[in-house]
Structure 1
Amino acid sequence: MATDYDAPRRTESDEVSEDSLEELKARRNEAQSAVVDIDETDTAESFELPGADLSGEELSVRVVPKQADEFTCSSCFLVHHRSRLASDANGQLVCMDCAA
């Protein structure tokens, strides 16, 4: 909405008393029509990466079991090397990142 900064200022009581019923209804309709409900998943599906055709691709990842010198942090649930162990209280292993 454009504002004329040269026009005399009106107080709230002036605005309430001078606004007509039609103006108030129009403002309410404008405020309600500004709400847009967008589903984030629909938005993400419409984007395509340039030059990337992954329709025939198969991704393969080799999963390695947790090693003897690794632990799973009870806070972030990531697997870390034992050198990253910050505390071992009551069997709860916590990494240095989560302990900080």
Structure 2
Amino acid sequence: MATDYDAPRKTDDESSEESIEELKARRHDKNSGKVDEDETEAAESFELPGADLSNEELSVEVKPRQEDEFTCMSCFLVHHRSQLADEKNMICRDCV
């Protein structure tokens, strides 16, 4: 966008008056489209595709602990032995 540097500049009084009027107009425009709506009620009306999981069962296969794994006593996650920082307390590198 080209700027005409030779054009007369507005004074502070003029710019503040125009700014107040513009702000009033913007405030009125923003409030005119506002609707009081309960978010909970609106969310209950939406149904996501494939969201009905009432007949689903969770199937998990638990594998025994491997020789090269340990369970951190701080975060209780299973890590590889290379992540072991404190062998005495069985703490991983992330928790140290």
**TM-score clears 0.5:** no
User: TM-score, length-normalised on structure 1?
Assistant: 0.42
User: TM-score, length-normalised on structure 2?
Assistant: 0.43
